[in-house]
């Protein structure tokens, strides 16, 4: 397939690389030319503009930061995409924005698919992402070969915007579990018990989880190098709580976790890992974070 890719960051670059390695004709565009240099060396074509990329693609993939970034690309992509082309957005954006874009694209007989992913940079590199997508079911035949290059779990959730609802649910569970792991570590430390041993025991029981394994491991080692920067989880929670407010759906645990994320951001740790939530608890008790 002729595929365009915009958003060549920590996740987007390996995702685009998998598509190129699978034999697809890849065109890339980025505001910083160096972001796509490695892919160009491997055989990708570099477009001068987002519109030029769209004109050269049957499917355009984007993986950018937020709703505003996707909206900022829409005009250029719509100007270049041909009828029946598909824009697949792997970003995490507001469900309402995804629905509005789908309506706008449909008026031009172009398809918009929201396909947020979970798995972080490690999942992107290993092509083991979980992909949750929203869009017309008839698009599955065209999208499945593309998704197969990128992920291990692919689920169509529903119509446009449904993928983003699923991603919000994912973030609520995951970050709440990071906070719970931080509280367990904090409690163990307060009791004078080695959290490394506690974590090892818990991983073999009903509290065991990927979050406790990965993020709990970072808490044990004190390595807060980000897999995904905490500021992105903060952004997702802002979006989740705004959507919940619109739908009158109470999220009591989500609200408490949001407060902790706000404290993390205020402490200047937004560019570090979300396992820094442990440091937020330490700081609240006057201890060295």
> So which residues are the catalytic ones?
167
**233, HSE (Cβ side, Cα atoms, 13 Å):** 36
In this structure, what are the phi and psi dihedrals at residue 287, rounded to the nearest 5 degrees? -95, 165
Distances, alpha carbon 70 to alpha carbons 89, 107, 236, in Å: 8, 18, 15
- Which residue, 157, 167, 161, is CA-closest to 137? 157
Q: Are 136 and 111 in contact (CB under 8 A)?
A: yes
CA–CA dist 183, 202 (Å, integer):
14
Residue 206, exposed/middle/buried by CB under 10 A (0-12, 13-18, 19+)? exposed
Assigned token pair, 49 = 């503009």
Residues forming a β-bridge with 6: 29, 62
CA–CA dist 195, 31 (Å, integer):
44
């Amino acid at each position: 397939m002729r595929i365009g890719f915009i958003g060549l960051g920590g996740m987007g670059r390996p995702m685009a690389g998998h598509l190129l390695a699978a034999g697809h004709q890849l065109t890339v565009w980025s505001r910083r030319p160096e972001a796509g240099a490695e892919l160009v060396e491997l055989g990708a074509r570099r477009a001068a503009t987002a519109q030029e990329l769209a004109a050269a693609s049957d499917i355009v993939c984007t993986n950018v930061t937020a709703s505003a970034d996707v909206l900022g690309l829409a005009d250029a992509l719509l100007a270049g995409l041909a009828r029946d082309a598909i824009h697949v957005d792997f970003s995490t954006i507001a469900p309402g924005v995804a629905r509005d874009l789908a309506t706008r694209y449909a008026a031009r007989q172009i398809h918009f698919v929201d396909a947020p992913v979970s798995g972080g940079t490690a999942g992107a590199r290993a092509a083991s992402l979980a992909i949750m997508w929203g869009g017309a079911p008839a698009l599955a035949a065209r999208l499945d070969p593309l998704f197969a290059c990128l992920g291990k779990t692919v689920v169509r959730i529903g119509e446009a915007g449904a993928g983003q609802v699923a991603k919000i649910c994912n973030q609520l569970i995951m970050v709440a579990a990071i906070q719970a792991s931080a509280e367990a570590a904090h409690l163990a430390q307060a009791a004078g018990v080695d959290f490394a041993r506690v974590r090892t025991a818990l991983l073999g029981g009903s509290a065991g989880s990927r979050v406790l394994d990965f993020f709990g491991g970072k808490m044990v080692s004190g390595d807060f190098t980000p897999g995904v920067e905490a500021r992105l989880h903060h952004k997702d929670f802002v979006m989740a709580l705004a959507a919940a407010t619109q739908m009158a759906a109470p999220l009591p645990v989500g609200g408490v976790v949001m407060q902790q994320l706000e404290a993390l951001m205020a402490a200047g740790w937004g560019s570090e890992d979300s396992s820094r939530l442990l440091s937020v608890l330490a700081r609240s008790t006057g201890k060295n974070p």
